[in-house]
Amino acid sequence: ETGVTQSPTHLIKTRGQQVTLRCSSQSGHNTVSWYQQALGQGPQFIFQYYREEENGRGNFPPRFSGLQFPNYSSELNVNALELDDSALYLCASSLRGAGGNTIYFGEGSWLTVV
Amino acid sequence: AQSVSQHNHHVILSEAASLELGCNYSYGGTVNLFWYVQYPGQHLQLLLKYFSGDPLVKGIKGFEAEFIKSKFSFNLRKPSVQWSDTAEYFCAVNAITGGGNKLTFGTGTQLKVEL
């Protein structure tokens, strides 16, 4: 049990639609990241939020956007869905600070785009 | 940018066999290193981590890993695997570049342990 909760767990969307995925970070964690894990691959970093601002972004187009709220919960929004967006979306939380940081993952949201 | 290589994509072992999964990374600076495990249908779980200090780290379920800085490696080991270790294993690196926590994952190793 990591204390990171995500919703919904599964959803199906049609190509061109928009989707919002939600994440509640572990208590006390001020940094949230989102990852995309396609079938048979390792997770790929989408972006990270710290103190409600984007703080690093991977190789994903602008139609992937996010928000972090004052209570450190977060949303991932994907516009104009494409078939290749079908994947497991993972939220991860951590406490940003000096030295090492352990990153904890939620169970993920399975998105299928048809 | 950092990258992570996991050399074994699929490994099949018999119960009680010893396990070593290779992981190499490319980044010249300070790194944090992790091994995560993903059991079928479950989320990523942290097996072990290295931040600093003793390069031999021990994790849960009898796993250990050794950080060899000169080889940019962080191989995962277990002396005797069990059927319940069947899972996918991911090596990940967090390059320490000013406080951000961004993990770069390898492509994963699918381990199957046969009875």
pLDDT tens-digit map of B65-111: 999 999 999 999 999 999 999 999 999 998 766 556 789 999 999 99
pLDDT, position A1: 65
Q: Is A4 exposed, middle or buried (0-12, 13-18, 19+ CB in 10 A)?
A: buried
Is A44 part of the contact surface with chain B (CB cutoff 8 Å)?
Answer: yes
CA distance B46 to A99: 18
Selected for mutation to probe chain A from B2, B25, B37, B44 (highest A CB count within 10 Å) is: B44
Query: Is the distance from CB of A28 to CB of A44 less than 8 angstroms?
Result: no
Q: Which residue has the tokens 């390069």?
A: B55
pLDDT, position B72: 93
| Cβ neighbours around B96 below 10 Å, total | 17
- The amino acid that residue B29 corresponds to is G
Q: Is A60 exposed, middle or buried (0-12, 13-18, 19+ CB in 10 A)?
A: middle
- What are the chain A neighbours of B100 within 8 Å (beta carbons)? 48, 50, 55-56, 96
Q: Which residue of A has its CA nearest to B90?
A: A42
- Residue closest to A100 by CA, chosen among B82, B89, B57, B86: B57
pLDDT, position B30: 81
Q: Of all residues in chain B, what percent carry a pLDDT higher than 70?
A: 95
Q: Do A43 and B100 touch (CB under 8 A)?
A: no
pLDDT, position A30: 85
Q: Do A97 and B52 touch (CB under 8 A)?
A: no
Residues in chain A where the model's pLDDT stays below 70? 1, 97-100
- What are the chain A neighbours of B4 within 8 Å (beta carbons)? 42
Which residues make Cβ contacts (< 8 Å) with residue B15, sequence separation at least 6?
Answer: B81, B82, B83, B113, B114, B115
